[in-house]
Amino acid sequence: MKIGVLKTDDVRPQLATEFGEYPEMFAALLRRQDPALEFVTYEVQHGHYPDDIDEVDAYLITGSKTGVYDAQPWIAPLMEFVRELHKRRKPTLGICFGHQLIAHALGGEARKSEKGWGVGVHSYEVQETPVWMVEPQAQFSLLVSHQDQVTALPPDTKVIASSDFCPFAMLQVGEHMLTMQAHPEFTKPYSAGLMELRKEVFGDAMVEKGKESLTNDIHASAVARWMLAFLKSAA
């Protein structure tokens, strides 16, 4: 399987040397489940798109510090591309910003949450158990870093997982798009470094609480298996 990564941001230079860019994080996560996976990166934040939508088997939209509602010139073309992916029923994953953008582009809404920032390890309750959820579990935890959330669902969307903090945490649109607010590609050291780097934004108390949460288990490997099983089921 060849996955096209639609890259919507750069890792901060202070962290990139140690942890790599987002496509490298996703490749490391998913290749632990399937070493044969191929990846192609498209710098959509700089207007780089595939010449042919079918030159890859599936797409993955990364996270970004940008909001889907921001007046950045590259966001509207990306929303149009998402609508084309939806029209063509192309298997697609959306992570954090990608999760929000897919919802926003297809008739839902994403905006800043009144609940503020979420950082560190967050836990979610599974609301539905689709066939692609191999080795299903009732609850899972992942690393997060977000203030924006999906606040209204697009048509033909199921809520797969939720929490009190993030009611629309994992969504399935039709049979071909799976999105999630959390970051399965993050590692705990990267999360700790990001929190420290953004302490002025998050505040000392939130960073301290977020770092304390890093002692909790995360289920990135299980979610990676779900992601790949979903893409294969949608192909």
How do the domains of the chain map onto residue ranges?
Answer: 2-234
| β 109-112/148-152 pair status | antiparallel
* Predicted TM-score (pTM) above 0.85: yes
Identify the pLDDT of residue 59. Answer: 98
> What pLDDT, on a 0 to 100 scale, did the predictor assign at position 197?
94
The pLDDT assigned to 52 comes to 98
Look over the chain and give the mean of its residue pLDDT values, rounded to a whole number.
97
Confidence of residue 81 (pLDDT cuts 50, 70, 90): very high
Cα separation of 79 and 200, whole Å? 31
Mean pLDDT of 160-189: 98
Instruction: Tell me what pLDDT residue 26 has.
Output: 98
Contacts of 58 (CB under 8 A, 6+ apart): 1, 2, 3, 4, 90, 91, 92, 93, 231, 234, 235
Give 184's pLDDT tier (boundaries 50, 70, 90): very high
Burial class (CB in 10 A: 0-12, 13-18, 19+), 79: middle
Residues classed as catalytic: 96, 183, 185
Helix runs in the chain, H state only: 13-19, 22-31, 75-87, 97-105, 188-197, 199-202, 204-213, 220-234
Q: Which residues have CB under 8 Å from 23's CB, separation 6+?
A: 5, 7, 39, 41, 62
| pLDDT, mean of residues 96-101 | 98
Average pLDDT over residues 83-106: 98
pLDDT of residue 2: 98
> By percentage, how much of the chain surpasses pLDDT 90?
100
> What topology does CATH give the domain 2-234?
Rossmann fold (3.40.50)
Instruction: Count other C-beta atoms under 10 Å from residue 113's C-beta.
Output: 17
Sign of CA pseudo-dihedral 104, 108, 112, 115: negative
| CA separation for the pair 121, 215 (Å, rounded) | 9
* Confidence label for 21 from pLDDT (cuts 50, 70 and 90): very high
Query: How does residue 226 score in pLDDT terms, banded at 50, 70 and 90?
Result: very high
pLDDT band at 80 (very low <50, low <70, confident <90, very high): very high
